[in-house]
Amino acid sequence: KYDSVLGPLDAEVSAKDDSIVVNGKALKVFCSKDPAAIDWSSLGAEIVIESTGKLTDATQAKAHLQGTVKKVIISAPAKNEDITLVLGVNDDKYDAAKHHIVSNASCTTNCLAPSTKVLHDNFGVLKGSMTTIHSYTNDQNVLDFPHKDLRRARAAAINMIPTSTGAAKAIGLVMPELKGKLDGYAMRVPTPNVSVVDLVCLLDKPATAEEINAKLKAAAEGPLKGILGYTEDPVVSTDMMRNPNSSIVDGQLTKVLDGNLAKVVSWYDNEWGYSCRVVDLCIFMAKKGL
């Protein structure tokens, strides 16, 4: 019912027996550490969204595949998955006959990939480096406390914290032609939601900032509408709260140095926008076939 970032849900929410009831619709609650012990068939479930963060290895997540369940979507970067899909980038590779455990990648890869695809399709990306200035997450600590990453061990709300991200390298999973050509890191900052990707890349074909923006805007209004957004307004992070796009290009910040070194900056609501893509991926897979 209540959320500290997105505010209260505009719905009637209550608990009854083993269900959460939202506007009169009962949603069954299961409690088990073993996915094989969950009776999905009692609900007729065909797609399971694996969002616990504990079963990102497909060898474990595949335990959901029983009874009525035909597909599992892991809402995170995964291991041993059948395929990683980023809508608008490589969803044409989905094969219902072969792909049963699907990773929706990370929120950052979902932000980075659409704009990178537009750049690569139109100008050619030779190599690049990205930084995600990312709101803090549950993998950090409220106060200094032990963590395997000594930087993430520090208090999240009062520090800017450099740390790793696999988002750039993961581009190779959805755009194989760019495998090994992008890398980067994350700077975790003291905001609870909304992040931004700063991509700098070397282009094969010379371009101006205006030409790059024209291609990005055309894609946002055309084939990538609903996934890629474009704005030239002087926005800040809170303006992007609840934006359903995977990536919103900030056209004012596009830069080109010496004709082929380009900078493209893209915002994303790392909670809401990513959740929208998970829903869209469910619908996409259901339409394409289970």
- List residues with catalytic annotation: 107
44 to each of 17, 99, 194, how far by Cα in Å? Answer: 20, 20, 35
CB 125 within 8 A of CB 119: yes
The Cα–Cα gap between 195 and 112 comes to: 11
The Cα–Cα gap between 118 and 247 comes to: 12
For residue 161, which phi and psi values (nearest 5 degrees)? -125, 110
Q: Which amino acid is located at 257 in the chain?
A: L
If we measure between CA atoms, which residue out of 130, 135, 137 comes closest to residue 189?
Answer: 135
* Pairing assessment for the beta strands 182-189 and 161-163 based on DSSP bridges: antiparallel
Upper half-sphere CA count for residue 235 (Cβ side, 13 Å):
23
The secondary structure of 149-201, three-state, reads CCCCCCEHHHCCEEECCCCCCCHHHHCHHHCCCEEEEEEEECCCCCEEEEEEE
Question: What H or E segment, with its residue span, contains residue 20?
Answer: strand 19-22
Alpha-helical (H) ranges within the chain are 58-61, 107-123, 171-174, 209-221, 272-288
